[in-house]
Structure 1
Amino acid sequence: MSMLVEENPARRRFEILVDDALAGFVAYQIQSGTKVLVHTEVDEAFEGKGVGSALARGTLDQLRDRGELVAVTCPFLLTFIERHPEYAAVVVDA
């Protein structure tokens, strides 16, 4: 199973493709020039297969690699970041 996370700026979200099928996304809003990660969704067909974690990791890795700081209001991502403190440096207060 191949997974690819890429940003779709036109839809304001990061998407994860699993074997070329859209499996989920992290939606964001722009507030005062800062991306605010507001919602994570994984298609039912892909739940329980690590897609949500791969999506979170891929999104946060890309943001960190670009040197972007983001705010996070999505409960799934807040929990993910608590469990993976290596991403805490990417996050600013919402």
Structure 2
Amino acid sequence: MAIEVKHNTEQTRFEIWVDDERAGFTEYRPRGGNRAFIHTEIADKFGGQGLAMQVIQEALDATRGEGLEILPYCPAVRKFLTKHADYVAMVPEDRRAEFDL
């Protein structure tokens, strides 16, 4: 099983592909120097494989690499942050309480 994450800049989302089939995505909106992550979705047939966490991690790694901060409006992204504290620093310090971080 080949898994690949692609940044679809036209649709402002990171997509996860399994064997050339889009399995899901995490969507964001640009907000100044931030990316506001608003929604993550994995197709039912790909559920339970950890793909949501994988696409989120790769999206956050790419975002960090661009020097951007994040606003985790998406519940799945917030859940990821609670399990991976080293990514919490990507949320502006003055906004962390808003997301219970």
Task: State the TM-score, normalizing by the size of structure 1.
Answer: 0.89
Change (3 A) 1:51 1:9: same
1:21-60 → structure 2 map (5 Å cutoff): 21-60=21-60
Task: State the TM-score, normalizing by the size of structure 2.
Answer: 0.84
- Take 1:67 and 1:33, find their aligned partners in 2: how far apart are those partners? 8
| Amino acid in the other structure paired with 1:87 | Y
Asked if 1 retains the 8 angstrom alpha-carbon contact of 2:3 and 2:18, the reply is yes
Q: Alignment length, in residue pairs?
A: 94
Gaps of 5+ in 1: none
Aligned-residue Cα RMSD (Å) equals: 1.4
Instruction: Determine what percentage of the aligned residue pairs are the same residue.
Output: 34
Q: Which runs of 4+ in 1 moved over 6 A?
A: none
Deviation at 1:33, TM superposition (A): 4.5
**Which has more radius of gyration?**
2
Deviation at 1:32, TM superposition (A): 3.5
